[in-house]
Structure 1
Amino acid sequence: MSAAARPVLVVAEQLDAAADMVVDQLNQRDVPVMRFDVAEFPQHLTLRGTHLPEESGWTGIIDDGRRTARLEEVRAVYWRRPARPLIADSVPEPYATWAQNQADAAILNLLAALPGVPWLNNPHADRVASHKPQQLVAATRYGLTVPRSVITNDPDAARSFAKDVAGPLICKPVLGGRLDVGGERRLMVATHRVDPADFDESIRATAHYFQEDIPKAYEVRLVAVGGQVFGGKLITTSEAAGTDWRTDYDHIEYDTVDVPGDVATAVRRFLTHYGIALGSFDFAVTPAGQWVFFENNPCGTWSWVENRTGLPIAAAHAEYLMGDTA
């Protein structure tokens, strides 16, 4: 089979704007695509993989009843936050949870075993790359400026850090995600400013991640795809948005910004360090023009950056998945 006829697997929930945009770009380039959600497996998706001692990899099929892709012909995989497998209601607990874990591991690990197949991104690498404390170490190693930070459950350590910073502080989650507060309500724990005068024994309840509050001329959502970097500029016009722009989208103005060469080089080295090719990086740019790295979400949202700025991020995804860029 010619390289042009080999399919790209897009593994995502059905309602995902980023996946839609990448599929559209692949379609424009006449690249075959098989899109599915892991939630379809095993009830509505058939997986058959075979490995024989004399073969170098796995062979077989993925079939959703409408389309079929051969494992040995897969060109690339775009893994974009799929849901977990859904097990039939007829399977009781604890077997249902066991079956779900089996299905989850089978489909991911079998695809990950396909030799020479590029990913955006392999979730195994994503899990390591998403660890915020280690990100600061890697960012510093590759030349990025980072905020002074402390992670602690010790009120005295928090007070000492505040004294050393001698300026405004913020608190943010060590681990992303939302709180389930009942029903369909989910609460985002946002970055927020804190007053050291309020530090008390409640800090011992869990780990707290404190950082110096970086003064911002504007913020940047930098999306890196392979060797390409795109700078989406966010100018916040309210205190809430200036602290965490996710809390007040009505007070954000959008633009593009050129990424300095040293920052782009550091970002590429950062991605190589983790063995990933895609990342959504958050930076602040100070009034003096210094770029300060906050964190990278390996599977962060970027469709809104393209929609607001016109940056060709989906096209960069398609080019990478086609093997047209490294």
Structure 2
Amino acid sequence: MNNRSRSVLVLTNPLDVTADAVLRILAERRIPVVRLDPGTDLHTGASLTAAYRTGDQRGTLSTATRELNLSQVRSVWVRRASPYKGPPDLDGQDRRFATSQCLWGAGGILASLPDAQYVNYPWANRAAEHKPAQLAAAQRLGFLVPDTVITNSVQEAQEFVASQASGAVYKPLWNTPYSVDGQPHAVWVREVSGSELTAAIGACPHMFQAKVPKAFDVRVTAVGDRTFGVRIDSPDLDWRRRQDRMTCTRIDVPEPVTRSIDAFLHQLRLVYGAFDFAVTLSGDWYFLECNPNGQWAWQPDETTRAIARAIADQLAKGTTA
């Protein structure tokens, strides 16, 4: 089949303006695109069917405007789809049942399209989001990694924090929704002292890390074998907290860091990754984390446009180029 006639399937919510930047480029290149938010669209008229027989796999996705042969998908962009919640007209266990069937059924179909390239494969995305797995891969692949402990032992936590000459920070292992007095409350990376550590640590594992004496932060956005580096200068330990106070400028990524990023993506089966580093005055780049589905459109316009083109290139290429 002519790759030119094959579609790109984009899994995201309708308010995802970041995706729009890439879709405009694909439209300019006359590459067919189907956009789907499976967590909601399958309850508002869209239908999904897959059939499996010996030696054959077929499927169809039907939306209000398109019918897509699933064997003709060249690439799947797994962006920011809504979570599966089941039909809104169901309650209780019926909705919970429908939710799980959507997750395992529709999610399984969309993760198993023949001959399609994934950016990123959804199960690889999920596996790579675990910070312990990231740190384990990073230290194996040559990154500098801050001393880190993940523990639910208050004694281990206290001993670790006390041993850090430059101080220690606390980081959540997952950005779990949290509220205070009914208002959403973000849990930022922050400095922590031994006197703050109590028996409450025993409720779950907590992540503590040596504070890197950084001169600035860097975000490296990797798409395939291409990397885009941005230096971030912020008055805050966690630059995400007040992004209106940070400044961003393009920065070259050192070759050893680029090689480790390539190896990291390969080992974790990723095509895309948003890497965060803390850079010291002496020029050492410390790996902090990799978000396998991190946002990127907040960066300087030139970098944002370059990333959008790189993602469009990757999606257009598919697996048969």
Separation in structure 2 between the aligned mates of residue 89 and residue 113 of structure 1, nearest angstrom: 27
Q: 2:315 maps to which residue?
A: 321
Residue 264 (structure 2) aligns with: 270
Q: C-alpha distance in 2, partners of 1:189/1:207?
A: 15
TM-score, normalised with respect to structure 1: 0.92
Q: Secondary structure at the match of 1:94?
A: helix
Specify the alignment match of 2:109 in structure 1: 110
Pairs within 5 Å for 1:207-222:
207-222=205-220
Is the 1:41–1:86 Cα contact (8 Å) retained in structure 2? no
Deviation of the 1:123 alpha carbon: 1.5
The DSSP-based 3-state class of the residue aligned with 2:92 is coil
Alpha-carbon spacing, 1:201–1:180, altered in 2? closer, same or farther (3 Å): closer
Structure 2 residue 275 is matched with structure 1 residue 281 = yes
SS in 2 for 1:158: helix
Residue 159 of structure 1 is matched in structure 2 by 158
Matching residue's letter, 2:252: D
In the comparison of the two structures, how many residue pairs are matched?
319
Identity across matched positions, percent: 34
How far does residue 179 in structure 1 lie from its aligned partner after superposition?
1.1
- Is 2:166 the partner of 1:172? no
| Aligned counterparts, 1:1-326, within 5 A | 1-38=1-38, 39-55=40-56, 58-85=57-84, 87-181=86-180, 185-236=183-234, 238=235, 241=236, 243-305=237-299, 307=301, 309-310=303-304, 312-323=306-317
CA distance, structure 1, for counterparts of residue 115 and residue 104 of structure 2: 20
In structure 2, the CA distance between the partners of 1:126 and 1:290, relative to structure 1 (3 Å rule), is same
TM-score, with structure 2 as normaliser: 0.93
- Stretches of structure 1 lacking an aligned partner (at least 5 in a row): none
* Counterpart AA for 2:97: W
- The 1-side partners of 2:33 and 2:141 are apart by 36
| Counterpart amino acid of residue 125 in structure 2 | D
Greater mean alpha carbon deviation, residues 195-204 or residues 150-159: 195-204
Question: Matched residue of 2:247: which SS?
Answer: strand
In the alignment, the residues of structure 1 paired with residue 91 and residue 194 of structure 2 have an alpha-carbon distance, to the nearest angstrom, of 50
In 2 relative to 1, CA 324–230 (structure 1 residues): closer, same or farther, beyond 3 Å?
farther
Deviates more, 1:174-183 or 1:160-169: 174-183
Offset at residue 215 of structure 1 (A): 1.3
Q: Is the 8 A contact 2:117 2:318 kept in 1?
A: no
The answer on whether the counterparts of 1:43 and 1:86 sit within 8 Å (CA) in structure 2 is no
RMSD: 1.9
Residues 298 and 304 in structure 2, CA contact (< 8 A), matched pair in contact too: no
Q: 1:250 to 1:71 in 2, by over 3 A?
A: same
1:77-130 CA distance string (max 9 Å, x none): 001120134543443431111112112222221122222211111111111111
Residue range with higher mean Cα deviation, 64-73 or 301-310 = 301-310
Q: What code does the residue aligned with 1:49 have? A: A
CA positional deviation for 1:133: 1.2
Q: Is the 1:254–1:308 Cα contact (8 Å) retained in structure 2?
A: no
